[in-house]
Amino acid sequence: MKVLQVRALRGPNVWGKHTAIEATLDLEQNKHTPNTISSLEERLCNYFPDIVQLQPINWQETTPANILVFIALKLQKQVGCPVSFSCAVRMAEPNICRVVVEYTEEAVGRLAFEQAFALYQAAAESAAFDVAETIIRLHELYEDVRLGPSTNSIVQAAVRHNIPYRRLTDGSLVQFGWGSRQRRILASESDQTSVVAESVVQDKDLTKILLRAAGIPVPTGRPVTSADDAWVAACEIGAPIVVKPQDGNHGRGVTANLTDRDQIKTAYHVAAEESSSILVERYVSGYDYRLLVVGNKLVAAARRDPPQVVGDGIHNIAWLVDQINSNPLRSEGHANLLTKIHLDEISLAHLASQGLSATSVPEKEGKIVLRNNANLSTGGTARDVTDEVHPDIADCAVMAARMVGIDICGIDVICSNISRPLEEQGGAIIEINAAPGLRMHLQPSYGKPRAVGEAIINHLFTQDEDARIPVIAVTGTNGKTTTARLIANILEHNRMRVGIACTDGVFVNNQCVDTGDCSGPKSARNILFHPDVDAAVLETARGGILREGLGFDYCDVAVVTNIGRGDHLGLANINTAEELAAVKRTIVENVNPEKGVAVLNADDPLVLGMASHCPGSVTFFSCNSRHPVILEQRIQGKRVIYLEEQHIVVTEAGTERRISLSNIQLTKNGMISFQIENVMAAIGAGLASGLDWSIICAGLADFVSDAQTVPGRFNLFNYREATLIADYGHNPDAMEALICAIDHIPAKKRTVVISAAGDRRNEDIRLQTQILGDVFDEVVLFQDKCQRGRADGEVLGLLREGLENAKRVRKVSEIRGEFKAIDTALTNLEAGELCLILIDQVEQALGYIHSRIAADARIAVA
């Protein structure tokens, strides 16, 4: 068994809505199958005992691919990944199989598949394999790449509210919502937190000055410059005191409840290792509380207790700490709900102040506090006290957050009783933290968990605020780009800032921000990232769907123009139009189930068949007003769009709206039938987006299919009083549509310039000229710039074969080079004739045609 290709599907895809690792395998004529490898089952179970916990496997009938995906899935489950989906599918090619395994973290999914394959090969070849080491690697990777508890709680709250999210980095920078409605967080810090506010709370002395100005109780103290100065400040304030970094966090470098000179000097040097700015302040006795303020509301509170051990009269403190650290809820850093305890310099110093060391054996039930600091990041625990907070303390916390200018913050309070006002008990706010940790509130050691992620999402997005912008996905074989551009033009008439990703590039507010073919998921994501986009129109090609899946979780409108005979058949294991339709219907399958609409071409049977896969509603369009589906939908009062007597008609629930083709420039008074289909698709998208009929009609009326708006899409020129058409058509269905259009254009002679992409099937290349040969007098064949794996002259030969039985063509020329072919056709073009140029290099070819027209005009003037 060989792995031919591995790729990550990062969005909804042909297999489902799961992100997944997809691999193509060569089974090598079943060289390694359970039937031919002795004791394969026994070896696999020896390597990986948990294999027997997988769904039952018939070892005599299953395939290597099935076993492989089972193992890859199980490896991820072993390290805590919430995955469940996998499948193995035989391809049309002999011995080729495709396997799909869900992942939640791409790096973990890739490694799991890689190790599953290695495990299977080891079992097949009786080689050594260390599953335990593999699981350790996967676990370490998972802990490294997954979101921490705080950020993940916010993300999961967004998911529950149906708010899309995307990680912008490997860290905790996350975007919620799309386009102009997006918001961002970094860990638990929102994009409303300014750099200025963050600088304020990083300076603990400045923070106290601001809080004191608002009448909020804070401990007295001042910055110090040396260990001796720290002692002087302690004498001024009066013992006990606290020494801490002025700009520290997570309790690092903080030493509390100090009374003598040596303690204070030692504490100064500990703090100096963390910061060059040191603060000495009065020690406030009492419990350590953390209050979480979100917006203008106190949403959670917890009492934090410092790390401590309880003696058993047998073991020393170091052993007792190791036992606590063995709790699976404890880990290094902030990846888990609790942090491991370390007997560091501060802990050892605190033990020494009690006359103890790490080797001391506490008496049974004796409680030993390991440090004064109660931060969870140093191993502390938390008890929820949200319901106990006195209203005055809650108001004080909210005012403190406002004074420093932070919308989401953790406020540290020291007092004896959180149920009494601070002034009554000599309590104080000692610190304010930006990007506060949420672990203590999400799953406190004791007490009720609080939905703090939910509170933050409700703060970022009000109840009536939609985090999504309208997303319209457009796919099909032909007409995708024109339809997408037309839909965008309609939306712009609704005063919306539109982002378009299509074959011509990425455009935001009619400004090109990227060039080339941008019909894939990366470009779609770029549109959805852009803060100036109110609506997204995303051309969605089959290549991107196969390569990576969709660039969005679901769309509001899915438009499918047509499938016809298909295009690009024979590539990427898509060999039939039916298989192509199954790929392109992915956008239909991922329509918003609550209010989404699929706009489908009823005249195309393969598109018509997609309706049953739509979780939302369906709008059909047709050039045949008597189409059975159109008639049936009309009887049921459902929205339909159809052509009738040179009008496009929309009927719905007994109402009827009409627009004359004469009012739609794109159709050339109905002369171009394929543009009529594109217009009906755009109307369907506009109505599905809730636009007024007047807005839709205005957007249709002023849309022009020129080389600037839709380059290479039936661009018409006048050259020497002859009709010149430039089009990017490159498949048999496009040829037929073009012929249907030009049949309405009078011409005493017709010439066509054509090449073909080398990656098309032989029969598809021949069929293009076979179709054209019956309606054109002269054919100019040119060799494409990129032959895509074909031998020199091979494509020209196939094109010529298609002309062998042509009914009309009288002259055939073969030219090397696109521009030379254009020159050949234009040089002999006379008034009253028609020339269709099927361009390859769209931008360059159109530029060349423009230059020829301009040069001819200058000659005429001269």
Digit-coded pLDDT (tens) for 59-113: 555 778 888 998 999 999 999 999 999 999 988 888 889 999 999 999 999 999 9
Same domain, 113 and 24: yes
The answer on pLDDT for 39 being more than 80 is: no
User: Half-sphere exposure of 725 toward its Cβ, with a 13 Å CA cutoff?
Assistant: 24
Closest CA to 559 of 665, 487, 627: 487
Same domain, 89 and 170: no
Same domain, 750 and 605: no
Residue 314's domain spans which residues? 308-371
- 119 Cβ contact list (under 8 Å, min separation 6): 44, 47, 48, 71, 129, 131, 134
Same domain, 606 and 577: yes
User: Is there a contact between 845 and 819 (Cβ–Cβ < 8 Å)?
Assistant: yes
pLDDT at 335: 60
Tell me if 627 is assigned to some domain.
Answer: yes
The full 3-state SS of 709-750, as one line of letters, equals CCCCCCEEEEECCEEEEEECCCCHHHHHHHHHHHCCCCCCCE
The answer on pLDDT for 508 being more than 90 is: yes
pLDDT at 257: 87
Sign of the C-alpha dihedral computed for residues 313, 317, 322 and 325 taken in this order: positive
pLDDT at 590: 98
Same domain, 647 and 746: no
Q: Strand, coil or helix: what is 31?
A: coil
User: Is there a contact between 702 and 695 (Cβ–Cβ < 8 Å)?
Assistant: no
Summarised one tens digit per residue, pLDDT across range 257-284 is: 899 999 999 999 999 999 889 999 999 9
The answer on pLDDT for 37 being more than 80 is: no
The answer on pLDDT for 34 being more than 60 is: no
User: Is there a contact between 768 and 735 (Cβ–Cβ < 8 Å)?
Assistant: yes
Closest CA to 604 of 562, 659, 649: 562
The rounded mean pLDDT for the chain is: 91
CA separation for the pair 527, 178 (Å, rounded): 9
- Show the tokens assigned to 72: 């890859």
Match 């709900």 to its residue by tokens.
337
Select from 325, 349, 371 the last residue of a domain: 371
The answer on pLDDT for 38 being more than 60 is: no
What is the mean pLDDT of the segment spanning 788-801? 87
Assign residue 789 the CATH number of its domain: 3.90.190.20
Same domain, 478 and 542: yes
Chain centroid, CA 409 distance in Å = 28
> What are the angstrom distances between the C-alpha of 475 and each of 304, 519, 678, 703?
56, 9, 11, 20
CA separation for the pair 388, 382 (Å, rounded): 14
Closest CA to 217 of 41, 389, 423, 60: 423
Select from 371, 394, 415 the last residue of a domain: 371
The answer on pLDDT for 30 being more than 70 is: no
Tell me if 411 is assigned to some domain.
Answer: no
The answer on pLDDT for 574 being more than 90 is: no
- Residue 354: pLDDT band (50, 70, 90) is confident
CA separation for the pair 447, 721 (Å, rounded): 86
- The helix/strand count (H/E) of the chain reads as 29, 38
Query: Which ranges in 19-177 belong to alpha helices (H)?
Result: 40-47, 64-78, 106-124, 131-145, 149-160
pLDDT at 537: 98
Secondary structure E strands in 153-312? 165-167, 173-176, 183-186, 189-190, 221-224, 241-245, 255-258, 278-282, 287-294, 297-305, 308-310
Q: Identify which has the larger pLDDT, 56 or 280.
A: 280
Same domain, 803 and 857: yes
Same domain, 673 and 527: yes
The answer on pLDDT for 56 being more than 60 is: no
The answer on pLDDT for 36 being more than 70 is: no
How many domains are contained in the chain?
6
- Show the tokens assigned to 448: 């009720």
Summarised one tens digit per residue, pLDDT across range 371-420 is: 876 777 777 889 999 999 999 999 999 999 999 999 999 999 999 999 99
CA separation for the pair 430, 218 (Å, rounded): 6
> What are the angstrom distances between the C-alpha of 245 and each of 236, 267, 270, 298, 351?
19, 10, 9, 27, 22
CA separation for the pair 803, 374 (Å, rounded): 85
User: Is there a contact between 655 and 662 (Cβ–Cβ < 8 Å)?
Assistant: no
Assign residue 686 the CATH number of its domain: 3.40.1190.10
DSSP characters over 303-339: EEE--EEE--SSS-HHHHHHHHHTSTTEESTTSSSEE
Rg (CA), the chain: 35
Summarised one tens digit per residue, pLDDT across range 119-140 is: 988 988 888 999 999 999 999 9
Same domain, 12 and 83: yes
User: Is there a contact between 773 and 809 (Cβ–Cβ < 8 Å)?
Assistant: yes
Same domain, 503 and 587: yes
Tell me if 792 is assigned to some domain.
Answer: yes
User: Half-sphere exposure of 268 toward its Cβ, with a 13 Å CA cutoff?
Assistant: 19
Tell me if 380 is assigned to some domain.
Answer: no
Tell me if 291 is assigned to some domain.
Answer: no
Select from 371, 387, 413 the last residue of a domain: 371
Same domain, 250 and 176: no
- Residue 47: pLDDT band (50, 70, 90) is confident
DSSP characters over 61-102: T--HHHHHHHHHHHHHHHTT-----EEEEE-SSTTEEEEEEE
pLDDT at 785: 66
Summarised one tens digit per residue, pLDDT across range 301-334 is: 999 988 888 888 899 999 998 998 888 878 776 6
Tell me if 317 is assigned to some domain.
Answer: yes
Q: Identify which has the larger pLDDT, 28 or 360.
A: 360
Number of neighbouring beta carbons within 10 Å of residue 463 = 6
Assign residue 266 the CATH number of its domain: 3.30.1490.20
Summarised one tens digit per residue, pLDDT across range 189-218 is: 999 999 999 999 999 999 999 999 999 999
DSSP characters over 462-523: -TT---PPPEEEEE-SSSHHHHHHHHHHHHHHTT--EEEEETTEEEETTEEEEES---SHHH
Summarised one tens digit per residue, pLDDT across range 655-694 is: 999 999 999 999 999 989 999 999 999 999 999 999 999 9
Q: In this prediction, what percent of the chain has a pLDDT beyond 90? A: 72
Closest CA to 683 of 469, 470, 472, 534: 472
Q: Identify which has the larger pLDDT, 570 or 406.
A: 406
Same domain, 779 and 680: no
The answer on pLDDT for 510 being more than 60 is: yes
Tell me if 300 is assigned to some domain.
Answer: no
Tell me if 540 is assigned to some domain.
Answer: yes
Summarised one tens digit per residue, pLDDT across range 697-729 is: 999 999 998 888 889 889 999 998 999 999 998
Summarised one tens digit per residue, pLDDT across range 449-505 is: 999 999 999 999 988 899 999 999 999 999 999 999 999 999 999 999 999 999 999
CA separation for the pair 655, 633 (Å, rounded): 13
- Residue 837: pLDDT band (50, 70, 90) is very high
CA separation for the pair 131, 324 (Å, rounded): 27
Q: Strand, coil or helix: what is 48?
A: coil
User: Is there a contact between 188 and 456 (Cβ–Cβ < 8 Å)?
Assistant: yes
